[in-house]
């Protein structure tokens, strides 16, 4: 079979797979229905504060496997549903970040920086339009790159990044995020250190858990969802409730937000946004292709690069980044959305996920069988059919179907969500807190997780109270296990060389950049502070 034959076989596998029902005499495959169902579920949970796509995927996966079984025919329906959830949650996740300042995922935190200020100015619907355009544009671009570059791009990256280089790259990522988005380099490093400390509780290579204080509760470590949702969502809810109480005590009444100004996106505004969308789409796609690196880093770099460019081109009347600039939303949403497609490059070629959604795709493949992510997926055989390659092109087809839904139904949904700003905060915020705690309990099914979430919520509130970004904490917590595992493997592979980060040229370059970015950022912060005082 040639390349076009494999592509066509993948398309037919989606549209002409096992029939679920017929419509006007035409058969409708179960895979197509599952993509639609997953998309609607993803868009619902993504737009619901306290929920997110990975949570829906985690709950859905065992149910899907029990319904479809473990035969190879179940692969495309199950994975098509998961892709639909991932795509729907991609644009839906911007809704709570913009309207309620409560990001459902770590990468959506950057969207709150400009999205929520626009909501407070009465431009919520306009902010949602910017987020939709940017998100779907970046997502579509990354899917195109995925199909064109998947057979060789991931192998090229893997060829240059060995274990020491991967370890140094993770350290560079943490250093960059701590220096750039931590509030200040010192606060960023403290936030990162706290995240690593929490990540190492109850983990390790030995049978004896670390930092557990000898108790069985901490011996299992902190669940991922409790730390992320606790610091990002519960912490934001606590901060908003404290602000409402303070406002009520001072003024005696609560302010309401009314729509202000034109809520539409004109051609002139779209033209201003396109450079930020295009730049961030390229950044997100490049980062998504790197094994083990997720969308949070892409959102951070896209926002930072967009901010530097914006400062050089903006007029005096334009708001700064972080003060309600539509360009800030565009830079963030295009970057984190473009990761979703490109992240399947290392998943399909190497079996290495870069974000939580990709993890569940691998779990589905491992649970059902018949599809083993790795270099053999892209083996174009002419004598015999490679079924894994057919499934891969079937997944590509499912992604494009979900993109079409994003461009059409997703736009209608985003435009209708602006009405949610009229819900009083004193009613909405307790509801968000309840949904978050419910989602945690459904996933963990133990009360310890609820107490952990509330504790991390207090930590998130304290961080916001001292102007310390919680994002470095969250990223460090997510990457902490990967960093330790990569460092242990690199240490063993280099024969126990304690200087493996400095004896390999690329790894040494990454380490030098890690120190350089912190030193330069600290120097610039000190220069700005001294200039402000004079």
Integer Cα distance of 80 and 36 in angstroms: 9
* pLDDT, tens digit (0-9, with 9 covering 90-100), for 200-227: 888 666 667 777 777 777 887 888 778 8
The per-residue pLDDT for 22 is: 74
User: Residue-wise pLDDT tens for the chain (534 aa)?
Assistant: 666 777 888 888 888 877 777 777 777 888 899 999 998 888 877 776 656 676 677 677 777 888 887 777 788 888 889 888 888 887 777 888 888 777 656 667 788 888 888 888 888 888 888 888 898 998 889 888 877 776 665 556 556 677 888 888 888 878 877 876 656 788 888 988 999 998 888 866 666 777 777 777 788 788 877 888 788 778 888 888 888 888 777 766 555 555 555 556 667 788 888 888 999 889 888 877 765 556 667 787 888 888 888 887 777 777 788 788 888 888 888 888 887 777 777 677 666 655 666 666 766 776 777 777 766 676 666 666 777 778 888 888 888 898 898 888 887 876 676 565 566 777 777 887 887 788 778 767 788 889 999 999 999 999 988 888 887 888 788 778 878 888 888 898 888 888 889 988 888 998 999 899 888 888 877 776 666 555
The per-residue pLDDT for 406 is: 87
Q: Phi/psi of residue 23, each to 5°?
A: -130, 115
The answer to whether the CB of 339 falls within 8 A of the CB of 293 is no
Place of tokens 């030193």: 519
Q: Please choose, from the candidates 119, 439, 145, the residue with its C-alpha nearest in 3D space to the C-alpha of residue 289.
A: 145
The per-residue pLDDT for 176 is: 77
The domain spans of the chain are 3-251+269-533
Residues with Cβ within 8 Å of residue 488, at least 6 apart in sequence:
205
Integer Cα distance of 318 and 311 in angstroms: 10
* pLDDT, tens digit (0-9, with 9 covering 90-100), for 364-418: 776 777 777 766 676 666 666 777 778 888 888 888 898 898 888 887 876 676 5
The per-residue pLDDT for 13 is: 83
| Both structure tokens of 492 | 């063993």
The answer to whether the CB of 339 falls within 8 A of the CB of 282 is no
The per-residue pLDDT for 351 is: 64
The per-residue pLDDT for 252 is: 60
Residues with Cβ within 8 Å of residue 520, at least 6 apart in sequence:
none
Residues with Cβ within 8 Å of residue 92, at least 6 apart in sequence:
42, 43, 44, 45, 46, 47, 410, 413
């Amino acid at each position: 079979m040639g390349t076009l034959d494999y592509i066509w076989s993948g398309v037919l596998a989606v549209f002409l797979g096992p029939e679920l029902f017929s419509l006007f005499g035409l058969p409708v495959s179960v895979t197509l229905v599952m993509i639609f169902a997953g998309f609607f579920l993803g868009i619902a949970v993504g737009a619901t504060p306290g929920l997110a796509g990975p949570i829906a995927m985690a709950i859905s996966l065992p149910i899907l496997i029990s319904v479809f079984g473990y035969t190879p025919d179940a692969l495309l329906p199950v994975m098509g549903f998961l892709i639909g959830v991932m795509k729907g949650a991609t644009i839906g996740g911007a809704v709570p970040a913009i309207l309620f300042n409560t990001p459902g995922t770590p990468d959506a935190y950057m969207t709150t920086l400009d999205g929520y200020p626009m909501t407070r100015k009465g431009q919520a619907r306009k902010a949602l339009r910017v987020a939709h355009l940017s998100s779907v544009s970046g997502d579509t671009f990354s899917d195109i790159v995925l199909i064109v570059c998947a057979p060789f791009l991931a192998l090229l990256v893997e060829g240059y990044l060995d274990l020491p280089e991967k370890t140094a790259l993770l350290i560079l990522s943490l250093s960059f995020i701590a220096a750039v988005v931590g509030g200040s380099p010192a606060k960023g490093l403290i936030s990162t250190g706290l995240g690593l400390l929490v990540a190492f509780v109850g983990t390790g290579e030995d049978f004896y858990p670390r930092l557990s204080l000898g108790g069985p509760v901490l011996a299992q470590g902190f669940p991922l969802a409790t730390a992320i949702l606790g610091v990002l969502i519960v912490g934001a809810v606590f901060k908003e409730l404290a602000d409402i109480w303070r406002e009520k005590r001072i003024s005696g009444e609560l302010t309401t937000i009314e729509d202000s100004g034109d809520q539409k996106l004109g051609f002139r505004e779209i033209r201003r946004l396109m450079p930020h969308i295009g730049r961030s789409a390229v950044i997100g796609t490049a980062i998504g292709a790197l094994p083990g690196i997720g969308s949070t880093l892409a959102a951070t770099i896209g926002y930072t690069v967009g901010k530097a460019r914006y400062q050089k081109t903006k007029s005096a009347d334009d708001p700064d980044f972080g003060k309600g600039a539509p360009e800030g939303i565009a830079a963030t949403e295009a970057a984190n959305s473009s990761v979703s497609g490109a992240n399947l490059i290392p998943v399909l070629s190497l079996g290495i996920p870069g974000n939580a959604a990709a993890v569940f795709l691998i779990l589905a493949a491992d649970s059902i069988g018949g599809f083993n992510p790795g270099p053999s997926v892209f083996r174009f055989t002419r004598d015999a059919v490679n079924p894994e390659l057919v499934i891969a092109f079937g997944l590509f087809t499912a992604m494009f179907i979900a993109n079409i839904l994003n461009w059409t139904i997703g736009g209608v949904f985003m435009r209708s969500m602006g009405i949610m700003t009229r819900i009083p905060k004193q009613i909405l915020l307790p509801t968000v807190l309840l949904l978050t705690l419910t989602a945690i309990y459904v996933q963990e099914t133990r009360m310890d997780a609820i107490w952990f979430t509330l504790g991390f919520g207090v930590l998130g509130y304290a961080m916001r109270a001292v102007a310390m970004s919680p994002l470095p904490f969250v990223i460090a917590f997510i990457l902490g296990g990967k960093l330790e595992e990569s460092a242990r493997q690199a240490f063993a592979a280099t024969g126990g060389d304690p200087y493996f980060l400095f004896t390999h040229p690329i790894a040494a370059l990454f380490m030098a950049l890690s120190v350089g970015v912190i030193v330069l950022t600290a120097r610039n912060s000190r220069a700005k502070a001294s200039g402000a005082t004079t």
